[in-house]
Amino acid sequence: MPHPDTQAAPEETFHDDIIYPGAIPFLIIHLSCFAAIWTGVTLKAVMICVVLYWVRMVAVTGGFHRYFSHRSYKTSRLGQFLIAALAQTSAQRGVIWWAAMHRHHHLHSDDELDPHSPRQRGFLYSHVGWIFSAAAERPDYESVADLTQYPELVWLDKHNYVTAVIMAVGVWLFAGWSGLVVGFFWSTMLVWHCTFFINSLAHVHGSQRYLTGDDSRNNWWLAVITCGEGWHNNHHAYQSSTRQSFRWYQWDLTYYVLKVASWMGLVWDLRSAPPDVVNNERRLGQAVVEKVARQLADTFSADRVATQVTATWKNSHMWPDIQEWAQATTAHAAARLSTVSLPELPTAEEIRQRATEMFRVPEVSLDEVSERARVLLLQAVSLRILEGLDPLPA
Domain ranges of the chain: 20-278, 286-388
Q: Say what the pLDDT of residue 17 is.
A: 61
Kindly give, in sequence order, each residue whose CB lies less than 8 Å from that of residue 174, ignoring residues fewer than 6 positions away: 48
Q: How far apart are CA 75 and CA 92, in angstroms?
A: 22
Q: How far apart are CA 124 and CA 118, in angstroms?
A: 8
Contact by Cβ (8 Å): 233, 219: no
User: Mind giving me the DSSP string for 337-353?
Assistant: HTTS--TTSPPHHHHHH
In DSSP terms, which residues pair with 267 in a beta bridge?
A: 75
How many residues does this entry show for the chain? 394
Instruction: Output the tens digit of pLDDT for each of the chain's 394 residues.
Output: 545 444 444 444 555 565 566 678 888 889 999 999 999 999 999 999 999 999 999 999 999 999 999 999 999 999 999 999 999 999 999 999 999 999 999 999 998 889 999 998 899 999 998 988 877 777 888 899 999 999 999 999 999 999 999 999 999 999 999 999 999 999 999 999 999 999 999 999 999 999 998 999 999 999 999 999 999 999 999 999 999 999 999 999 999 999 999 999 999 999 999 999 999 888 877 888 888 777 777 777 777 777 776 776 666 766 677 666 666 655 565 565 566 555 667 777 777 788 787 777 777 777 777 777 877 777 777 777 666 644 444 4
Answer yes or no: pTM beyond 0.85.
no
Q: How far apart are CA 285 and CA 202, in angstroms?
A: 23
Q: How far apart are CA 341 and CA 318, in angstroms?
A: 11
Kindly give, in sequence order, each residue whose CB lies less than 8 Å from that of residue 88, ignoring residues fewer than 6 positions away: 94, 95, 156, 160, 161, 162, 163, 164
Q: How far apart are CA 300 and CA 304, in angstroms?
A: 8
User: Mind giving me the DSSP string for 356-369?
Assistant: HHH---TTS--HHH
- SS3 (DSSP) at 384: helix
Type of residue at 267: V
CB crowding 291-305: b at 16 or more within 10 Å, else e: bbbbbbbeebebeeb
